[in-house]
Every structure is written in structure tokens, then in C-alpha cells.
Structure 1
Amino acid sequence: MPIAIVGAGLGGLVLARALHVNGIDAVVYERESSRGARGQGGMLDIHSGQRALREAGLLDQFHAIARGEGQDLRLLEPDGTLLLQEDTPDDAPLDRPEVDRADLRTLLLDALPEHVVRWGHAFESADNGVLHFADGSSATYDLLVGADGAESRVRALLTNARPAHTGQNVVELGIPDIDRTHPDLAAMVGRGNYWVLGNGQSLSAQRNGDGRVRVYLGFYRTAEDWLVTSGIPFDDPAAARAGLIEEFAGWDPRFTALIAACDDTVLPRSITTLPVGLTWPSTPDVTLLGDAAHLMPPVGQGANMALLDGALLGLALAADPDDFPAAVKEYEREMFERTSAAARMSAGMQELLASPDAGRKMLAFLEPG
């Protein structure tokens, strides 16, 4: 019976690849109907996760699609004060390159035999070595790995823990083809990340490889239902932009001009996390990776931890193919320690971003000397 991986996100696909190169059978079950069924979001800052891609034999291919210039950073305060500008030299090492999440997922999918990923399989439950899917079908497994994200269904087999609201709400907007449509704003944002922090709010603009700039508006120390009680009509893009601009009244007009230039993509979401340091008693035939195991604030650690989870679990299983329970236990021991440290750091960064003088604190964090 093969290893069953629920979820064709980054972590699940790296695990499948690590097992494949070591001659171990695995099947990935994904609820989406096809690889192109849903947009995959924006850019990712891949740093520690590069180790996972190296272990999977894909580091050179990753470097070919990574954007070194995505390491550029501009940090400002709400009044327009420029605190930091970092421009990446063309020959700089790819320590923290940006990569389009969709491109990275495509790289991982293309590195697997086509039959490994079974699309249109929405996981419902598992018992006695049998998976049950929403369409009534079933499949057997020897080891079940939940790589099914923040709202993981597999997680309930191991723990009662559920994601809880962090006090942060985010609205994602976007400006397509910004170099052509808004060259002045394109020059302001630059080639990488543009952060404006302070007053318990944040505005970040992020270059994507397709010419789009994604704009993220962060609201900290807000209630879980703030997206409803704010009065902003998120189902009416033009009115939503106007309401969001009002939320940033008093900020430098250049920043609200970014909001005004966005198209009709308006994606509000509440930010949730799992408890820092979450563990569970090791179970011989079930484990978790990525957001299913350690959902963190979106500050640059989640994707890297998921990639490492997948690669290191794959290596542990390949090193002890006749004793999966022992391999799982060893993987979880390392994973709990590594991701707990990352979650604590992420929670600390979340607190920093929520502070009134977040820009100055971020500057001190980036330039501790």
C-alpha cells in the first residue's frame, strides 16, 4: 500500500518528489480538479527552503525561475519617510530570492510522474488504512500524510487544535502590468518589496514575475469579524477601494494612490494561526506537514517550513523504509523543534508589525548593528 499524501501544495509535492527519487511509491490526492483550477497567489521569499529543493534535486531549476531582484526592499513610514532602501546587485547570491508560487508549484508538479497526483479527490475521512473521498471513492494507504493546509481535515486524526484569529485582517489588491499602466508607481515600488509600516497598519507592494504588483493592506489588533463590521463593501471593488483609502487617511498620498490604482481584485481574509509549539503523540500511520501542522502568520516562514517538512520527511522515510513509524517519529521530533522556533519568531514579527512605530522597529530588526 503506498504512502498517501493529502494536498498538492508545496510541502506535499516536495515530499512526493523526495520519495520518488528514492524509489518509494506515493500518491498525492488533491481536491482541486486540475493543476490550473485555482490561482496560487503571489511571490514567496525562499531562503531555508532552498535546502529542500536541493535534497529534491531541483535547486538549479529553482534558480532558473527565481527572481534575484526580488530581494530589493524599500521600507517607509506612513508620512513618507524612507527608512531603508536595499538594491540587489546583479551578481548578488540568491540568498532570499522571490519566486512566483505558481511557478514553483509547476516546477514540482513537472518533476513528478503524471500519475502521482490524483486530481478531484477531496478527502473526507480515514480509518483502518482506508481513505474516503467526497465523491464516494476510496483508497488504501500504509502511511497518511496531511499536507492539506490551514483547514486540514487530516489534522483531526491527531489533535483537536484549530486555527485561531491573530487579531490581523488583510486585504489583497493588485495592479496589473504596472510598468505600462502606472510607470510612476512602478518606479516608486521598485523591483522587489515595498513596505510601509506604522500606526497599527501596513501597506506592502510586491512585484510579481508577470508584471503585476500585489498590494496587501494589513489591519492589526482588529476583531475577527472586522471585515464585516468595518462597513467596507468588499463585494463592490470601487467602493471597497474608496473605503480602504479612508482607512489610510493621513498617510502620504503616494500610498493611497497605490490603492486607487488597483483593479477589481479585492480579496479580504482573516489571519489565523495554530498554537505555537503544537505537538501530538506520534501515531504510526498518520502525520502532518506544512500549515496543517504549524500554521504561522504570513511573515516569510510558512512556505519555507513546508518545503523543509516535505524533504526531511521524505529523507527520513527513505532512510528507514522498513520502519515507517520510527521514521515518522524521528521526523516529528525534528519538525516540532524547528517549526516551534520559526513560529515563535513569526509571532514576534506579528507583534512588531502591530506596534505604532513598526517602521522604526523593523529598521532596527533589519539593521541590528
Structure 2
Amino acid sequence: MRHRIAVIGGGPGGLTLARVLHRHGHPVTVLERDPAPDARPPGGTLDLHEGLGQLALDKAGLLAEFQALSRPEGQAMRILDTAGTVLRDWQPRPDERANPEIDRGQLRDLLLGPLDPLDVRWGRGVTQVVPGARDGVLVDFTDGRQETFDLVVGADGAWSRVRPAVSPVTPHYTGVTSVETSLDDVDTRHPDLARLIGDGSVAVFGVNRSLAAQRNSGGHVKVYAQFRAPLDWHTNLDLADVEAVRASLLALFDGWAAPVLDLLRQGTAFVHRPLYVLPVSHTWTHVPGVTLLGDAAHLMPPLGAGANLAMLEGAELAESIATGPGDLDETVRAFEEQMWARAGKWAKITTAGLERLVSPDPAEALALFDQVQPS
């Protein structure tokens, strides 16, 4: 039976689900609110784990292509103290493939498949999903149109428009805010910072704040300032005023080593990203015809698990639908139980990790690094 399946959201999880279904010859429609793949910046680099994101790409038949695009050297991690002293400088072995990095844009293009493209309907924003309609699950679009499907999968992120169909829960603020900026052509324009960052990432941890920089491909670097603050910390600050935001951040990190602060001094635009999460044990009473995956289901601190989990969930659900006995509702029920158990474990890990990385005691962050770094 070829069920009518819609995936809401064209991120890593939604596209992986669609790619695996497509690989098995099962039709699937991806509905994405962005008008085109490159309508907005795709975000920073992702480390795909062997047993999570890489396993999902293997199920999608894309592991070899990923390995050709990925940057194993991007796994390198350097930690400094606020005076600029190097505390740790971990370099991956030449054969280390546990968590290689790939740019989000490259991963998106890989999953979209230029030679065997998915059915992605761009510019199709969703306002709500209504289960229990006469002909299936009703999807309402921002342009006033409607369409029905046998299964709607919400892969549409933190502020999912699909989630209200199964759960009343909404994300809550963690107390930690992240402000992102970036550097371009770092090796040529900022060689001192390029050496500071190395091949992968550099991080500095202070009291209730941290500063990190991570290489993407093509000499692009993402810089993240994280700190504990009220959600309205910027009330008297115009977030569109680049120099005002820069001055505010430099004051917040006052006294840190000058080379570290240059990551902020040389940054371009600044983007405010307060960190929200869903409850660690977020589940819901099963609703026929609707389910969630990724951040829509289990939004957690951004410590490397979210996209990996979403991709594996998408791949597993797709395989179950394509190769299972045919009872779609039972397939989705089983998927949800499996997802909740695994995601709950990762939510606990990442929640505890955020507490240690943005902590009153910077030694907590260093101890966490020593605990999780590869041997």
C-alpha cells in the first residue's frame, strides 16, 4: 500500500525520512515554508555521529557521498582559559571518523539529491494540522489551501505547527542565551584567529558564560557567545545595531584575553538565539495520522545530538513504513515508543551538559570535555 505521507519541514530529519522512503520507492511529499533551498543561511556545521547521523545516511544510501564531503579534521577541539592559556588541544587521528563535520548546506543538498530529486514543495507554510478529517489528516496552508494525507510527520523544529495536533506542550527558556556572529575568509583576513581556532573548534569558559568558535568549510567561522541572562536581557539594546551589540558583548566578557575577544571584535552581524527546550520526558498520547520527530518532538540544548537524532528517527520511521507489515498506525506507535526512550536519554545528557558548560564553575566544562573526548 502506498500511503499518502507528508513531511512538514525540510531540515535534516525531514529530508532523511523523505530520502529513505524515496529510496524504497514510496512516494512522499516534503512541505517547506522557505521559498527555495537557499532562501536563508543554512546555519553552522554539524558533527554526524557514527551510530546516529552516519547510520541514517547509510540507510539513505548516502554514506560514501557524506564521507567525501565531510571534514574529519573538524573534530579537533582546543580549550583555553580566559587568559588565553591552552588547557586542552585534542587532535583527531588521521583515521578518526567518529564525528566528522559537514556544513548544513552541504548536507541539505546531499539529501535533496540533484540526480534523483525529492518531491519538495517550497513556499508551503503550514498553519495547522487537523487529525480526524473524513479523508485523513487535514493540513491548512498559509495561502488558504488545504490538503489531506494518511500520515503527517512534523519535522518542523522548535516552534512546530504540527505539535499542537498531538501535544499542548511548548518550549521553555533555559536561562541561557546564545549570540552568534561569524568571520569570513578567516585564513586570509584574520590569520591570527585562524591559528587560534585551528582545524576545528576553540572554546573558552568563564563564570556563567562561554565563547566558542567553529570552522565551517571555505574559511567561514561561526562564533557563539553564550551566557546566563533573563530572556529580556536586551530590553535597552537594539539587536539590529551591530556596534551596540558588539560593545555589550565585549563588556560582558571584559577582562578576557585580547585574542579571544577579537572573535567578537571582528564578527560581522550578530544573531540573538535564546536557548529553549521541551521537557526532558516529553511524550504524548498517540494520535492516528500524526507524529513528530527531531526538535518538534524533543527540543534539547544544542550540544550535537539534535540533528543526529532527527536524522536517525527519520530513517527508522521511513524503513518501518516501507518494509513493515503495512499497518501504518501500529508502525507509527512503535516508532514513537522507540523515539521517546532514546530521546529521553539524550535530553538528560544534553541538559546536564548545558548546566556544566555555562556554569558558575568553569572547571565543570573542562571536566566534561575530559569525560567525553575520544581516547
Partner residue, 1:342: 346
On the 8 A contact 1:316/1:330 being kept in 2, the answer is no
SS in 2 for 1:102: helix
Say yes or no: does 1:84 pair with 2:88.
yes
| 2:149 alignment partner AA | Y
Report the number of matched residues: 363
Partner residue, 1:5: 7
SS in 1 for 2:230: coil
- The alpha carbon displacement at 1:94 in A equals 1.3
| 1:188 alignment partner AA | L
Partner residue, 1:226: 233
- The alpha carbon displacement at 1:111 in A equals 6.2
Say yes or no: does 1:242 pair with 2:250.
no
- The alpha carbon displacement at 1:113 in A equals 4.5
**Separation in 2 of the partners of 1:213 and 1:23?**
39
Partner residue, 2:293: 289
On the 8 A contact 2:18/2:118 being kept in 1, the answer is no
- The alpha carbon displacement at 1:143 in A equals 0.6
| 2:258 alignment partner AA | P
Distance verdict in 2 for CA 1:111–1:330, change over 3 Å: farther
Equivalent of 1:159 in 161, 167, 174: 167
Partner residue, 2:125: 122
| 1:238 alignment partner AA | E
**Separation in 1 of the partners of 2:232 and 2:267?**
24
Equivalent of 1:143 in 142, 146, 151: 151
- The alpha carbon displacement at 1:38 in A equals 1.1
- The alpha carbon displacement at 1:162 in A equals 0.1
TM-score (norm 1): 0.95
**Separation in 2 of the partners of 1:173 and 1:54?**
33
Say yes or no: does 1:102 pair with 2:109.
no
Structure-to-structure mapping, 1:1-369, within 5 angstroms:
2-47=4-49, 48-89=52-93, 91-110=94-113, 113-114=116-117, 116-127=119-130, 128=133, 129=136, 130-220=138-228, 222-228=229-235, 231-263=236-268, 265-320=269-324, 322-358=326-362, 360-368=363-371
**Separation in 2 of the partners of 1:227 and 1:10?**
31
Q: Deviations over 1:333-361 (max 9, x none)?
A: 11000000000000000110121333x32
On the 8 A contact 1:169/1:227 being kept in 2, the answer is no
On the 8 A contact 1:196/1:203 being kept in 2, the answer is yes
- The alpha carbon displacement at 1:112 in A equals 7.9
**Separation in 2 of the partners of 1:192 and 1:97?**
10
On the 8 A contact 1:198/1:353 being kept in 2, the answer is no
SS in 2 for 1:271: strand
**Separation in 1 of the partners of 2:318 and 2:161?**
21
SS in 2 for 1:226: coil
- Structure 1 vs Structure 2 CA RMSD: 1.5
- The alpha carbon displacement at 1:92 in A equals 2.1
**Separation in 2 of the partners of 1:217 and 1:311?**
33
Distance verdict in 2 for CA 1:112–1:224, change over 3 Å: farther
**Separation in 1 of the partners of 2:239 and 2:188?**
27
TM-score (norm 2): 0.93
SS in 1 for 2:354: helix
